[in-house]
Every structure is written in structure tokens, then in C-alpha cells.
């Protein structure tokens, strides 16, 4: 992330004079005249007011749902207000890779805390400073190692990967304080046993002491493409927007172990209540009898597309149509009242179609 500050006409002329040129056209003297663009076919610039009105009009086309029963990889969890309060501070919003540890102590500390919390959540020994998303983290050869892909909220209810004795735990960190936003930016987490630490791609922040004996933070074990020969680098996409990792860190700190467990228990309870109520409607049944956390697939007696449209008209985003039926999802935000309204609408739609 960054900003673009245009140079003035005088500044541009000073730069040209410094290299012995009088115009920008001279910079492209080596480019054949036949392939040069004479003008760009783009609209004229707009005032701030005009841009605001256009953007507001575009935003008005979005459908904002009061109830969401769809997951499939991105989940609508409650986010404590303190998360945005902390991460929206301007000194954090533009933060990226803290290459210079001496002047990046605040960002390094936030990453260190993120790593610590992810290790506590997964029961593993070490964590990197995140990767771009969960798919980037579940995409490497397993070999003889045991790798577990996990839902971080579910870890508030289930055994941790560490308790199962796995070597590497990966997953999508979006449920940890990141809102639904057209697919991102999200957060891929990767934790491992201490034996795997030198194989772990990406940044790892360590705690140490400075020359005065005060606590400080440094980038350690930097097996990155910027620092070593590329054939020995463990990753070429090892960094993530530090803001995503900080968001997860603030969320986990705000929720605490009890809060994460409560979110997990509520999500599972709501999902099982929804499943039982759906199965009371003729034509709806669970596709499998296997245990589930907060997502499940049911058959549907009516076309999923029709049901989806009728639910949307009531301000409800229904489950995701899939090959075998509909994939439903519940989080702690799917209260009993919202589930009961969903069931009521579905029953009405079924009667109309019948």
C-alpha cells in the first residue's frame, strides 16, 4: 500500500535539466515513432465531489444482507470494535515488510504477538508472519510429514493440531477479525514444530535484548528471496500485508480463549439447530451423516437458484448452491431468531412452488 504524489511542472523540468534534456519526449527518442501513443483514450479528470457521487452510486448497487447463511471459505463472524480502532491507525495502515528492525519495533512487536497467539491457538511451536491466504499456505508437497488444514475458530472447540502431533498446521485466517470483502485481503497462517523452523517460509520475528539490555525485536531466520540466493530461498511469496497479521493479533487478544471458544460453540450449536429445522421440511435432508462444525450440505426439493432469489428478497443470503444441493453455514451471528425467519421463508417458498 502507498500513495502517489505527483510532481509539479517545475520539478519535472528540473529533473529533465539534470539529465540534459528539455522535454519528456526526448526520453523516448529510441522508441520508434510508429509505436508511440499520441494520446490516451481515457475520460477527463473529475472533481472530488463528482468522484464521490459516482462511487456512492456504485456502492448503492450492492446488496447488503441482514442475515448470512453462506460460508464456503469466508465467514461472517463478529468483530470487536477495538480491532478496527487499533488497525486503522495511520502508522499501521501503510505498514508492510519491516526491513529495518531499528525503526520498525512497533510493527515487529505486533508480528511477534501474532506469531505467539497463532502458536497458542494451534498448539504448535513456531509460526511465520503469515502468507497471502489459506490456499497459499494448504499448497506444498507433504512428503512424509503430517499437515493439517484447520478452521481457526473451530480450534476453540476441537483439539489443536499440536495435540494431534502433526508437523505443520495451516489454514485461512480470515475468521480472525477480517470482514467479508470481495475475497480479500485475507490471511494465510502457517505454524509448525520447532524441528521444522528452518523450513518454514516467510518472516519470523524473534525477541532479544539490545546493547542496553532492553527488550527488542528482530527479523530472524530470514530464508527469503531478498536476502539469499534464490535457489536456496524457501519461498518467493513469503510476505503478507502486516496489517492482516495485526488484525488477527488484535482480534485474538480481544476475544481471548473464552471468547474464541464461545464463538466456536455458538457457531456449531446454531448450525446443528439449522440442520435439524431444515430436515423437518419435506425434501430437505443432510447429504452425509458425518460430523460437522458449522457447515453442512442438504438436498433441496426446489431449484437452489429460485430459493436463493426468494431469500435475497427478504434480506437473507442463503446457502451456496452446490452439485448435491445447498451448502449452509452458521456463525455466532446466526441467531435463533434469524434461523427461525429463514425456515419460515423457506417453508413459504416451498408452498408457492408446490
**What are the residues whose beta carbons fall under 8 Å from the beta carbon of 72, sequence distance 6 or more?**
295, 320, 327, 329
Q: Are residues 315 and 345 in the same domain?
A: yes
Q: Are residues 163 and 225 in the same domain?
A: yes
Q: What digits encode the pLDDT tens for the residues 179-227?
A: 988 877 888 899 999 988 877 877 788 899 988 999 998 888 665 555 5
Q: Are residues 342 and 214 in the same domain?
A: no
- With H, G, I as helix, E, B as strand and everything else as coil, classify residue 56: helix
Tell me whether residue 42 is in a domain. no
Total domains in the fold of the chain: 2
Residues in the chain: 354
Q: Would you place residue 139 in the very low, low, confident or very high pLDDT band (cuts 50, 70, 90)?
A: very low
Q: What digits encode the pLDDT tens for the residues 62-74?
A: 888 999 999 999 9
The backbone torsions φ and ψ at residue 216, rounded to the nearest 5 degrees and listed phi first, read -150, 175
Distance, CA of 322 to CA of 113 (rounded, Å): 39
Tell me whether residue 287 is in a domain. yes
Distance, CA of 310 to CA of 324 (rounded, Å): 20
Tell me whether residue 18 is in a domain. no
| pTM (two decimals) | 0.81
Distance, CA of 218 to CA of 236 (rounded, Å): 21
Distance, CA of 114 to CA of 118 (rounded, Å): 6
Tell me whether residue 61 is in a domain. no
Q: Are residues 110 and 142 in the same domain?
A: yes
Q: Are residues 332 and 224 in the same domain?
A: no
Q: Domain boundary at 173, 206, 240, which? A: 240
Q: Are residues 194 and 321 in the same domain?
A: no
Domain residue limits at 282: 67-72+256-353
Q: What digits encode the pLDDT tens for the residues 293-318?
A: 999 999 999 999 999 999 999 999 99
Tell me whether residue 32 is in a domain. no
Residue 212: CATH number of its domain: 3.40.640.10
Amino acid at each position: 500500500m502507498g500513495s502517489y504524489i505527483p510532481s509539479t511542472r517545475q520539478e519535472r523540468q528540473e529533473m529533465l535539466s539534470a539529465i540534459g534534456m528539455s522535454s519528456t519526449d526526448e526520453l523516448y527518442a529510441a522508441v520508434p515513432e510508429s509505436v508511440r501513443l499520441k494520446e490516451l483514450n481515457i475520460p477527463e479528470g473529475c472533481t472530488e465531489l463528482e468522484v464521490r457521487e459516482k462511487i456512492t452510486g456504485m456502492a448503492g448497487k450492492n446488496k447488503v444482507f441482514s442475515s448470512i447463511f453462506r460460508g464456503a471459505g469466508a465467514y461472517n463472524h463478529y468483530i470487536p470494535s477495538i480491532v478496527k480502532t487499533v488497525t486503522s491507525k495511520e502508522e499501521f495502515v501503510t505498514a508492510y515488510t519491516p526491513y529495518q528492525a531499528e525503526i520498525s519495533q512497533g510493527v515487529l512487536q505486533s508480528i511477534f504477538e501474532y506469531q505467539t497467539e497463532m502458536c497458542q491457538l494451534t498448539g504448535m511451536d513456531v509460526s511465520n508472519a503469515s502468507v497471502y491466504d489459506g490456499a497459499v499456505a494448504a499448497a506444498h508437497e507433504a512428503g512424509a510429514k503430517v499437515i493439517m488444514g484447520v478452521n481457526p475458530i473451530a480450534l476453540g472447540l476441537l483439539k489443536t493440531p499440536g495435540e494431534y502431533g502433526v508437523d505443520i498446521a495451516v489454514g485461512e485466517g480470515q475468521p480472525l477479525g477480517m470482514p467479508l470483502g470481495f475475497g480479500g485481503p485475507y490471511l494465510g497462517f502457517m505454524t509448525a514444530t520447532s524441528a521444522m523452523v528452518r523450513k518454514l517460509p516467510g518472516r519470523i520475528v524473534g525477541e532479544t535484548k539490545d546493547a542496553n539490555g532492553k527488550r527488542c525485536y528482530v527479523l530472524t531466520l530470514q530464508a527469503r528471496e531478498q536476502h539469499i540466493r534464490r535457489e536456496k530461498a524457501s519461498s518467493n511469496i513469503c510476505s503478507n500485508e502486516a496489517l492482516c497479521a495485526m488484525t488477527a493479533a488484535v482480534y485474538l487478544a480481544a476475544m481471548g480463549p473464552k471468547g474464541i471458544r464461545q464463538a466456536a460453540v455458538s457457531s456449531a450449536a446454531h448450525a446443528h439447530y439449522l440442520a435439524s429445522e431444515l430436515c423437518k421440511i419435506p425434501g430437505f435432508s443432510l447429504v452425509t451423516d458425518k460430523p460437522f462444525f458449522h457447515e453442512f450440505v442438504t438436498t433441496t426439493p426446489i431449484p437452489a437458484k429460485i430459493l436463493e432469489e426468494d431469500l435475497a428478497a427478504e434480506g437473507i443470503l442463503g446457502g451456496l448452491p452446490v452439485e448435491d444441493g445447498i451448502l449452509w453455514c452458521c456463525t455466532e451471528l446466526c441467531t435463533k431468531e434469524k434461523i427461525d425467519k429463514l425456515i419460515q421463508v423457506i417453508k413459504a417458498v416451498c408452498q408457492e412452488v408446490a
